[in-house]
Structure 1
Amino acid sequence: MKKNTENIRIIALGGVGEIGKNLYVIEIDSDIFVVDAGLMHPENEMLGIDVVIPDISYLIERSDRVKAIFLTHGHEENIGGVFYCLNKLSVPVYGTKLTLALLKETLKHYGVNKK
């Protein structure tokens, strides 16, 4: 009889206690899945900053384990940071047709050419 060895961890890399920068990591055994990758617009005192994105160094250090990005919906606080993730990670992105269409336009804005 096979013993269930599934370990699940949920980690917030952004979006907790703030509006924007939503990015959650779900680890199932050794596989990593990303839920949303958003941005936040800078506060008034953040002169010279265009956008604020989550720190994804945790994902970059484990890039071989990251399997996919899942998007819950198309608001900037959920998809606005995908451009940065895709520049650092080679993973598929899943979402509804509308969310993926909005993402495609966002990626064009940042010069990322992904299908």
Structure 2
Amino acid sequence: MATAENAELVFVPLGGVGEIGMNFALYGYGPANAREWIVVDVGVTFPDASLPGVDLVLPDTRFIEENVANLRGIIITHAHEDHYGALLDTWPKLKAPVW
């Protein structure tokens, strides 16, 4: 667990901010070089007419994939697709406990 010395609480939205859908939020705690992370929701969104032929839009998870060693878990807040819909695609890359 991170210590309080030089620790920060940070919020990194990877999707869903300012829109309905594709909720994917990271919360990190600790110093910048040893931050521990939790993911809150792993949602998808549905495309509009500007994305013809696209069925689902998933968040860009590369940041947490690069920091997966410090990922402590995934929290799903409720069973709407914009909060859990990307779990099947992201869990094999993240392999963290899910609550």
| Band the TM-score falls in, shorter-chain normalisation | 0.7 to 0.9
TM-score, length of structure 1 as denominator length = 0.75
* Identity of matched residues, %: 33
Structure having the larger proportion of residues in helix: 1
Cα distance in 2 for partners of 1:52, 1:23 equals: 12
Q: Which of the two has greater strand per residue?
A: 2
User: Which runs of structure 2 are paired with 1:53-72 in the superposition (5 Å)?
Assistant: 53-72=58-77
TM-score of the superposed pair, with normalisation by structure 2: 0.86
Residue in 2 aligned with 1:93? 98
Unmatched segments (≥5 aa) in structure 2: none
CA offsets 1:43-67 (integer angstroms, 9 cap, x no match): 1231221100110000111111111
Paired residue for 1:103?
none
Amino acid in the other structure paired with 1:35: V
Specify every segment of 5 or more residues in structure 1 that has no aligned partner in the other structure, as ranges: 95-115
1:14 equivalent to 2:31? Answer no
- Deviation, structure 1 residue 26: 0.4
Counterpart CA distance in 2 for 1:58 and 1:91 is 15
Secondary structure of 2:10's partner? Answer: strand
RMSD: 1.3
Q: Could you say if the C-alpha distance between residues 4 and 86 of structure 1 is closer, same or farther in structure 2, counting changes exceeding 3 Å?
A: closer
